């Protein structure tokens, strides 16, 4: 590599002027967009080094997901479509924060420590969401890739899941799918149509209203609609004519537990909200009394897992099915999965990378965060076994049919990462097969009332947790106070965790009383404020 060129471009075009450190969190770097120019330049270089080390295509996605318009960020995607390896997260953080004068030496150290052959070829795929700052930040990343002599495929404005898909396809010689946006669309739609052709169901109403968070998902949804025609009518609102993620999108609807702006007021209408980069999805509806009903990631996970179990049992194949959740999962969903569905369920730390890795331990692993971020992963050997069984004429017809249904269902899934639109099509496929409306789906179990709050603190790092973030070990005395509060409420559960992107502490509380849960959550938030260095006004406890 031409280190003089790298150094010159860094100092003259993308200097590090930042006074505070940035950290590669659970979703990469995320900050105000005007602080990220030098970070994108350096991440462009780092993707080239990672590509050389892995001898594979690496992805670079410019997005801040559910954050509002002033923010932006960048995440790197490893060859199998998974999040960047944790050891390289530390490398990325260090590289992003060093002074310009140390950049070249830092790159040489990475090359030496990671045993990278500078002469190896490299390939990087770039995408960005619809934020205005995305274009200039992508230019910074491209400058970095060019400076390091990498080969670039710039797909422009695409969803985050589409980028993950493209990376996997590029590294599997097309066996996972065609490495184009059109290939992505056709793979998912054709699988959905295959499911619908296998069975007629007049009970299913093929119409949904989609809140696209005024983000890139609106573009992808319109492309899906063009291919689906009348097989599924997607009526899109918040389609880009308003502020990104402002009073709309999956995160807003989940946290505020209310419809987004511009939502249709019709009762019993099946509504879907995704986030700004289209990797989270939740459902909701209003009943005849205009009461809001939320069907979040827990509901989606249980719907998918229950149907998968049904097909696995009918196929008579020996397949280990499992479901992965985080501490944010509603306690009622966990009970339903483990005691009624009798599917193994495990809990991991928050962050899709943790759930994804745990899900890979099962033959077929379903994982979802309550915020609607999740997917299904299937071992290659198991998928091959299912496909073979579907064509094995020596097996009973019932087993072949179930295996064929499993194959089509898996093809609707974007296994590389949580994909809002893929998950939406998967949900619609299952509702179609079962002939369910959204009310029938919701009746499978009753959520415990819950509430999420945020507490601003001086330093989020004061919060340290264990047991998949369910227990707080620092600051001293906070967990004992939480335990004391939990004991006061029937079926009470609460935990706190530091945000991965800003100096706030997230509070979650649930109990069996909708009239008491607000007070419960506020009491936990007050304990955090008092014991973890809260700033601003203390949380107000409802009387």
Exactly one of 51, 65, 390, 408 is catalytic; name it: 65
- What order of strands is seen across the sheet that includes strand 374-378? 345-348, 321-326, 364-368, 374-378
Cα 300-231-189 angle, rounded to 5 deg:
65
Q: Find out whether 350 is annotated in a ligand binding site.
A: no
338 flagged as catalytic: no
- CA 210 from centre of chain: 18
CA dist., res. 102 & res. 392, Å (int):
61
Q: Find out whether 78 is annotated in a ligand binding site.
A: no
Q: Find out whether 349 is annotated in a ligand binding site.
A: no
Q: How many CB atoms lie within 10 A of CB 222?
A: 15
At 347, which helix (H) or strand (E)?
A: strand 345-348
- CA 101 from centre of chain: 36
Q: Find out whether 501 is annotated in a ligand binding site.
A: yes
322 contact partners, CB below 8 Å, separation of at least 6: 343, 344, 345, 346, 359, 361, 362, 364, 365, 366
- From the list 402, 434, 412, 411, the residue with the least C-alpha distance to 319 is 402
CA dist., res. 533 & res. 441, Å (int):
43
Q: Find out whether 65 is annotated in a ligand binding site.
A: yes
Q: Is 30 helix (H, G, I), strand (E, B) or coil?
A: strand
CA dist., res. 487 & res. 53, Å (int):
52
The residue length of the chain stands at 543
The strand pairing partners of 326, in sequence order, are: 348
Pairing mode, strands 57-62 and 292-295: unpaired
Q: Find out whether 500 is annotated in a ligand binding site.
A: yes
Q: Find out whether 332 is annotated in a ligand binding site.
A: no
Q: Is 47 exposed, middle or buried (0-12, 13-18, 19+ CB in 10 A)?
A: buried
37-54 and 134-147 helices cross at what angle (nearest 10)? 50
Q: Find out whether 183 is annotated in a ligand binding site.
A: no
CA dist., res. 269 & res. 293, Å (int):
11
CA dist., res. 370 & res. 254, Å (int):
8
Q: Find out whether 370 is annotated in a ligand binding site.
A: yes
Q: Which parts are annotated binding residues for Mg(2+)?
A: 65, 275, 277, 279
Q: Which residues belong to the active site?
A: 65
Q: Which residues are annotated as a binding site for substrate?
A: 369-371, 497-501, 506
| Binding site residue list | 65, 275, 277, 279, 369-371, 497-501, 506
């Amino acid at each position: 590599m031409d280190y003089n060129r790298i150094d010159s471009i860094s100092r003259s075009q993308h200097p590090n002027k930042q006074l505070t450190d940035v950290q590669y969190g659970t979703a990469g770097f995320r900050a105000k967009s005007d602080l990220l120019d030098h970070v994108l330049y350096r991440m462009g270089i780092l993707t080239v080094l990672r590509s050389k080390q892995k001898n594979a295509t690496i992805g670079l996605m410019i997005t801040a997901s559910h954050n509002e318009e002033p923010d932006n960020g960048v995440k790197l995607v490893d060859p199998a479509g998974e999040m960047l390896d944790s050891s390289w997260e530390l490398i990325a953080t260090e590289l992003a924060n060093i002074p310009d004068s140390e950049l070249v030496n830092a790159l040489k150290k990475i090359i030496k420590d990671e045993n990278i052959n500078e002469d190896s070829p490299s390939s990087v795929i770039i995408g960005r969401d619809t934020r205005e700052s995305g274009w200039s930040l992508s230019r910074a990343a491209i400058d970095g890739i060019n400076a390091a002599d990498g080969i670039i495929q710039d797909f422009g404005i695409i969803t985050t899941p589409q980028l993950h898909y493209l990376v996997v396809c590029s590294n599997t010689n097309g066996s996972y799918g065609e490495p184009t946006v059109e290939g992505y669309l056709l793979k998912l739609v054709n699988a959905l149509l295959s499911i619908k052709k296998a069975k007629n169901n007049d009970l299913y109403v093929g119409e949904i209203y989609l809140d696209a968070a005024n983000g890139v998902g609106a573009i992808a949804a319109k492309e899906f609609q063009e291919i689906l025609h009348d097989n599924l009518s997607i009526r899109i609102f918040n389609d880009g004519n308003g502020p990104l993620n402002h009073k709309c999108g999956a995160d807003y609807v989940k946290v505020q537990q209310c419809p987004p702006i511009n939502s249709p007021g019709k009762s019993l209408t099946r509504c879907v909200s995704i986030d700004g980069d289209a990797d989270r999805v939740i459902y909701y509806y209003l009943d005849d009394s205009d009461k809001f009903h939320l069907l979040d990631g827990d509901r989606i996970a249980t719907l998918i897992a229950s149907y998968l179990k049904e097909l696995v049992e009918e196929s008579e194949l020996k397949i280990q099915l499992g479901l992965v959740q985080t501490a944010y999962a509603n306690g009622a969903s966990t009970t339903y999965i483990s005691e009624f569905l009798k599917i193994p369920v495990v809990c991991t730390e928050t962050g899709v990378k943790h759930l994804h890795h745990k899900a890979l331990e099962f033959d077929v692993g379903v994982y979802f965060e309550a915020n609607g971020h999740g997917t299904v992963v299937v071992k290659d050997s198991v998928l091959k076994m299912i496909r073979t069984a579907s064509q094995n004429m020596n097996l009973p017809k019932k087993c072949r049919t179930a295996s064929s249904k499993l194959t089509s269902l898996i093809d609707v899934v974007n296994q590389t990462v949580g994909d809002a639109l893929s998950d939406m099509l998967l949900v619609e496929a299952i509702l179609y097969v079962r002939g369910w409306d959204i009310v029938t789906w919701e009746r499978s179990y009753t959520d415990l009332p819950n509430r999420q709050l945020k507490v601003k603190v001086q330093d989020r790092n004061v919060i340290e947790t264990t047991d998949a973030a369910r227990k707080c070990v620092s600051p001293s005395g906070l967990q004992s106070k939480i335990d004391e509060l939990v004991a006061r409420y029937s079926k009470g559960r609460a935990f706190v965790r530091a945000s991965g992107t800003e100096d706030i502490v997230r509070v979650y509380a649930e109990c069996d009383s909708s009239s008491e849960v607000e007070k419960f959550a506020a009491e936990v938030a007050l304990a955090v404020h008092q014991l973890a260095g809260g700033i601003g006004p203390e949380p107000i406890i409802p009387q």
